[in-house]
Amino acid sequence: MQGKQGGFTASVNAMYDKAVGLMDLSPGLVEKIRVCNATYTVRFGVRLRGEIHTFTGYRSVHSEHMEPVKGGIRFSLAVNQDEVEALAALMTFKCALAETPFGGSKGGLCIDPNAWDAHELEQITRRFAYELIKRDLISPAQNVPAPDMGTGEREMAWIADQYKRMKTTDINGNACVTGKPLNSGGIAGRVEATGRGVQYALQEFFRHPEDKGKAGLSGTLDGKRVIVQGLGNVGYHAAKFLSEEDGALITGVIERDGAIYSEAGLHVDAVQAHIRQTGGVQGFPGATYTADGAALLEAECDILIPAALEGVIHEKNAVNVQAPLIIEAANGPVTAEANDILLAKGCVIIPDLYANAGGVTVSYFEWVKNLSHIRFGRMERRAEEARHQRLVDELERLSANTAVPWKLSDTFKRDYLRGAGELELVRSGLDDTMRGAYRAMREVWHDRGDVHDLRTAGFVVAISRIASSYQAKGL
Ligand code: GLU
């Protein structure tokens, strides 16, 4: 939305320019990495409700230094070329930072998904997919979409099925899209992945006293007051895990119809159930409601999680934001101008290209699973359990021969003996990715005197990896 020259792409470019300004790259390479390689616009008609409706969709490919290119497809009336290009660029940097071996892409269909019933949406989605598949803009080897705003497992299953109908001999057809339902080639833990990644990102941040100190915070996540904007898939899972597993207090939730606040902390599942029943947060028992939802972005809290739209913290409200720590669960929630204002105030921002990389990371695992045609853990799980059982048996045998025999507790045995299934492996791989990417970013943040914020550090890491990959190709 807003940026230095008023656009989302301009905002991403401003952040990119700030980072490359600190790097020693040739101007030609700087330009090559910045520009969006191609954007395909399609207008297609679908006969629905007795007449032909024309829809406009996009698939933008930002960088092909690695293939396939990767990124979601969103369904929203706000979709436009500037938006998909900015989001595609963010995918390039996100994939490089998270070490998922993809270039960056993004798609969008200009549609209000709530205006159509499921059967109509299926026809529209299949038609859009058809247009992209026949141009290799959906393909396991070249371009692999995923869910984004307004899309989910259902749409991904339609896209995968459409691909397989058109490419009947492609044995890797399932890998043409990620975020599919588990029973149609999906992977355990993909739905929760982006929110889970936000939780792992915050856990990692809180492991570093120096870093939380920069935000004026100390201790653990336990008791920290959190305001979340958007209780969609990402915001819901982040808020749920942070409150249920880390003891954080979700003091505020901002939704389309306004915001609710409670010092004591909101029960995330109860709020979500209320939204499902009533269409909004208004009337949620035990909380204060305000119709001006955006006002809560400026309320006092320890952590602010914008998990909805881009451009929600801009040059007008940034100065009023009180949160000392912002974690960008959405893509581009803080504009380039707002970013500068917040940094000048001492706010620490955990940037989108890192914070919401959990989704594409687990998409990567799903793509690998699809190409290997086997569920993670299937070969080793029982062997691992048998080995653990041998150790436990041996320890118990040894203990029986000691003067004071001891026993391993039943809970220890239960947890230790269980071999890792797919969900545990996915979470482990995601946690490892989030820790590794954070460490790469913070090294640049702390070691280089000229990098003063995590976003610039993240861009520097990502851009240098992309640059090496272009250089290796001889460009
Ligand atoms: N749409 C998500 C994002 O913006 C996920 C992309 C993917 O899994 O490819 O990161």
Mean pLDDT, to the nearest integer, of 260-286? Answer: 98
For the chain, report the end-to-end CA distance as a whole number of angstroms. Answer: 32
Same structural domain for residues 83 and 155?
A: yes
Mean pLDDT, to the nearest integer, of 114-130? Answer: 98
Mapping DSSP onto H, E and C, the string for 53-102 reads EEEEEEEEEEECCCCCEECCEEECCCCCHHHHHHHHHHHHHHHHHHCCCC
Would 279 be classed as within a structural domain? yes
Is 3's pLDDT higher than 70?
A: no
Is 134's pLDDT higher than 60?
A: yes
Mean pLDDT, to the nearest integer, of 312-323? Answer: 98
Mean pLDDT, to the nearest integer, of 397-415? Answer: 92
Is 198's pLDDT higher than 90?
A: yes
The answer to whether 272 and 296 are in contact (CB under 8 A) is no
- DSSP 8-state class, residue 264: T
Would 359 be classed as within a structural domain? no
Is 74's pLDDT higher than 50?
A: yes
Angle at 396 between CA 394 and CA 398, to 5 degrees: 70
- Tell me the C-alpha distance between 293 and 346, whole Å: 24
Torsion of the alpha carbons at 229, 102, 162 and 155, rounded to the nearest 10:
-10
Mean pLDDT, to the nearest integer, of 157-178? Answer: 98
Is 6's pLDDT higher than 90?
A: no
Give the range of the structural domain holding residue 253, as residue numbers without chain letter: 216-346
Is 348's pLDDT higher than 90?
A: yes
pLDDT score for 4: 43
Rg for the chain, CA atoms, rounded: 23
Percent of the chain beyond pLDDT 90?
A: 97
pLDDT score for 2: 46
Domain end: 328, 346, 364, which one?
346
- Tell me the C-alpha distance between 361 and 378, whole Å: 20
Overall domain count for the chain: 2
Same structural domain for residues 157 and 13?
A: yes
pLDDT band at 201 (very low <50, low <70, confident <90, very high): very high
pLDDT band at 473 (very low <50, low <70, confident <90, very high): confident
Same structural domain for residues 128 and 277?
A: no
Q: What is the mean pLDDT of the chain?
A: 96
Q: What is the DSSP string of 355-407?
A: HTTHHHHHHHHHHHHHHHTS-TTTTTHHHHHHHHHHHHHHHHHHHHTSSS---
Angle at 119 between CA 185 and CA 362, to 5 degrees: 25
Measured CA to CA in angstroms, residue 117 lies from 34, 120, 233, 278, 472 at distances of 39, 5, 20, 19, 49
Regarding beta strands 51-63 and 103-109, do their DSSP bridges make them parallel or antiparallel, or are they unpaired? antiparallel
- Tell me the C-alpha distance between 410 and 416, whole Å: 10
CB of residue 356 inside a 6 A radius of ligand 1: yes
CB of residue 151 inside a 6 A radius of ligand 1: no
- Tell me: the pLDDT tens digits for 365-380? 999 999 999 999 999 9
Mean pLDDT, to the nearest integer, of 67-80? Answer: 98
Q: How far apart are the CA of 360 and the centre of ligand 1, in A?
A: 5
CB of residue 148 inside a 6 A radius of ligand 1: yes
SS3 content of the chain, % helix, strand, coil (to 5): 50, 15, 35
Query: Which residue in 165, 161, 193 sits closest to 72, CA to CA?
Result: 193
Task: Report how far Cα 182 is from the mean position of its chain's Cα atoms.
Answer: 19
- Tell me: the pLDDT tens digits for 141-150? 999 999 999 9
pTM (2 d.p.): 0.96
Q: How far apart are the CA of 63 and the centre of ligand 1, in A?
A: 15
Selected catalytic residue, list 106, 212, 224, 240: 106
Q: Is 106 a catalytic residue?
A: yes
Same structural domain for residues 177 and 272?
A: no
Tell me the two tokens of residue 381: 């799980």
Mean pLDDT, to the nearest integer, of 307-315? Answer: 97
What CATH number is associated with residue 139?
A: 3.40.50.10860
pLDDT score for 475: 73
